Amino acid sequence: MNQPHDPLKALGYHSVIRLPVQWGDQDAFGHVNNTVSIRWFESSRIAYFEHSGINPLLAAAGLGPILAAVRCDYRRQVRYPDTSWIGAKITKLGNTSLTMAHAVWSERQDAVSAEGDSVIVMFDYAANAPRSIPDDVRAAIRAFEQGAV
Amino acid sequence: MNQPHDPLKALGYHSVIRLPVQWGDQDAFGHVNNTVSIRWFESSRIAYFEHSGINPLLAAAGLGPILAAVRCDYRRQVRYPDTSWIGAKITKLGNTSLTMAHAVWSERQDAVSAEGDSVIVMFDYAANAPRSIPDDVRAAIRAFEQGAV
Amino acid sequence: MNQPHDPLKALGYHSVIRLPVQWGDQDAFGHVNNTVSIRWFESSRIAYFEHSGINPLLAAAGLGPILAAVRCDYRRQVRYPDTSWIGAKITKLGNTSLTMAHAVWSERQDAVSAEGDSVIVMFDYAANAPRSIPDDVRAAIRAFEQGAV
Amino acid sequence: MNQPHDPLKALGYHSVIRLPVQWGDQDAFGHVNNTVSIRWFESSRIAYFEHSGINPLLAAAGLGPILAAVRCDYRRQVRYPDTSWIGAKITKLGNTSLTMAHAVWSERQDAVSAEGDSVIVMFDYAANAPRSIPDDVRAAIRAFEQGAV
């Protein structure tokens, strides 16, 4: 039997998290507020950094991620009760920045409810300046993405 | 003397709101969380609909706005205490959708801290379907934007 | 082997939900913000109404719950990553109101991180007025609480 | 003419802040969500520490506040658009903790919409332990409260 995260795996998302929709995520329109998807994207960014094993490499380099941009396309209205599965994959590796795609799967609707991406800059918080993505971080991301980036 | 919303007016934003940064808007990085800018965009969308006078026209047509997409570029880290001024202007009128640009001005930094836009669809919530933007709504938006759209 | 919700069951909480801590739940102190526990209490109130089977009874009576008061004692700082288990039990049945106790269990710390209670009034939203708790609702709550209230 | 914060001053609140209600503060019941009042209490705690001048004294002592408990009584449903004025006053000085009362004034309803209090512990974050409230902090609070505590 299919698991709810299988469709996201089939779309190439190797990092997937599961978050229950809370009643209070809904706004006066009676559906999940648009800011909640952005919070889910954030949680999926954090999880990707853990799942891909790059956190210790970044720590060793004295770097941390900083969000430069986010974009979200809202595909379906989501309502409580539901469970969201959120996938993350890196689709582009630049010099100091990378692009991460996100997709939210609604378990109840069995469909993608939102899609988007984040632009993340590798940042030296001590120096308050962007830095090139270290080679070992690039290698770890490419391995995690199985060569798709 | 310049008022903090003057720079936004100069950038063509005719609808401007003022929102204080709350301490709790900050996350574990010690700066305002990325989802807060998205909330500010939402508040500026709502305010635009009020300032431009299109709410009664939409109500008469049985329509409401629904958010199809949002995009945000984060320009500067914002910290408490500060006050944000958020401008909104409509930059594109499509058939069933319109694009609204947003800019957030940090009073403390005297600079744009975030920019982005929203794609808003005119929606018949009763029929659960998009509708063409009514002519009187278009006219009111063009008047409010002084012909810039 | 013990399941994380067993300690809450042992404390008499028959309704228990599980919610992952999100990174963004943390504030500038680097721990989960105090408002998040209040959101967890809300989610546990909603779940209690589902688990106890009283929602259809309230709907039939034209009533809904409204929150009159909430109280929370913060026992331990919670940090990401962690999973919270939140228990709810009704501890007092008044005429128009009831008191529900909540406890949050930190899976990572294996301890109660927050405790509190909510006062909920049975409300006729159409008439904008409180109403006596219907007899069938009382009976269902007493059955769910196994006579403990 | 009365200013909206005058009623709070009359109730003995010497520290008052003003926060606009945002549309997104509302939940699926169409009124401001209960967690928002708790966020307003937090903002009024932070403001009190600034207004009373005790922040530099606490910093010199290596101490910071930590929230031990919060309680809120919801008096009226609040809806967008509205402006909240939130007052804070210290009503009890213990050894390591103090109690701060909060009241939220709805500008639109010209009435208290929520009341409550916070128990705040003086905390040595480095030692992870509570500490007695320093004498100069006590004196500053008593001066700010004009001897009422």
Q: What is the pLDDT of residue C56?
A: 98
Q: What is the pLDDT of residue B68?
A: 98
Q: Is C149 inside any structural domain?
A: no
Beta strands per DSSP E along A21-110: 64-74, 83-93, 97-106
Give contacts of B39 with chain A, Cβ < 8 Å: 35
Reported confidence tier of residue A46, pLDDT bands at 50, 70, 90: very high
Tell me which residue range forms the domain holding C97. 6-144
Our CA-based measurement puts residue A85 at a distance from the nearest CA of chain D, in whole angstroms, of 23
Q: What is the pLDDT of residue B140?
A: 98
The answer to whether B86 and B115 are in contact (CB under 8 A) is: no
Of C105, C101, C90, C80, the residue nearest C6 (C-alpha): C105
pTM assigned to the model: 0.97
Summarize the confidence of residues A60-64 as an average pLDDT.
97
Our CA-based measurement puts residue A31 at a distance from the nearest CA of chain D, in whole angstroms, of 7
Give the residue carrying structure tokens 């988007």. Answer: A116
Q: What is the pLDDT of residue D1?
A: 46
Give contacts of D24 with chain B, Cβ < 8 Å: 39, 42-43
Give the count of beta carbons closer than 10 Å to the beta carbon of residue B125: 13
Q: Cα–Cα–Cα angle for A134, A138, A141, nearest 5°? A: 140
Q: Is C81 inside any structural domain?
A: yes
How would DSSP label each residue in C95-148? SSEEEEEEEEEETTTTEEEEEEEEEEEEEETTTTEE-PPPHHHHHHHHHHTTT-
Q: What is the pLDDT of residue B1?
A: 45
Q: Is D23 inside any structural domain?
A: yes
A35 touching B (Cβ < 8 Å): yes
Reported confidence tier of residue C5, pLDDT bands at 50, 70, 90: confident
Q: What is the pLDDT of residue D6?
A: 86
C22 touching A (Cβ < 8 Å): yes
Q: Is C22 inside any structural domain?
A: yes
C43 touching B (Cβ < 8 Å): no
Q: Inspect the interface and report whether the beta carbons of A67 and B34 lie closer than 8 Å.
A: yes
CA closest to A38 among chain C residues = C24
Of A88, A26, A48, the residue nearest C23 (C-alpha): A48
C30 touching A (Cβ < 8 Å): no
Q: Is A1 inside any structural domain?
A: no
Of A16, D76, D104, the residue nearest A5 (C-alpha): A16
A24 touching D (Cβ < 8 Å): yes
Our CA-based measurement puts residue B1 at a distance from the nearest CA of chain A, in whole angstroms, of 32
The answer to whether C118 and C102 are in contact (CB under 8 A) is: yes
What CATH number did the domain enclosing C59 receive?
Answer: 3.10.129.10
Chunk chain B into consecutive blocks of 10 residues (it has 149) and report each block's average pLDDT, rounded to whole numbers. 77 96 97 98 98 98 97 98 98 98 97 98 94 98 94
A128 touching D (Cβ < 8 Å): no
Our CA-based measurement puts residue C97 at a distance from the nearest CA of chain D, in whole angstroms, of 14
Q: What is the pLDDT of residue A20?
A: 98
CA closest to A40 among chain B residues = B35
Q: Is B1 inside any structural domain?
A: no
Which chains border A (3 or more CB–CB pairs < 8 Å)? Answer: B, C, D
Q: What is the pLDDT of residues A67-106, one digit of tens each?
A: 999 999 999 999 999 999 999 999 999 999 999 999 999 9
Q: What is the pLDDT of residue A1?
A: 45
Total structural domains in chain A?
A: 1
Mutation choice for B interface testing from C25, C33, C34 by most B CBs within 10 A:
C33
Q: Inspect the interface and report whether the beta carbons of C69 and D70 lie closer than 8 Å.
A: no
Q: Is B59 inside any structural domain?
A: yes
Of D101, D28, B44, B126, the residue nearest A22 (C-alpha): D28
D19 touching B (Cβ < 8 Å): yes
Pick out chain D residues at pLDDT < 50. 1
Give the residue carrying structure tokens 């500008």. Answer: D107
Q: Is B149 inside any structural domain?
A: no
Q: What is the ipTM of this complex?
A: 0.95
Question: In D, residues 67-126, which contact C (CB 8 Å cutoff)?
Answer: 67-74
Contacts B–D by Cβ distance under 8 A: 29
The CA distance from A137 to A57, in Å, is 6
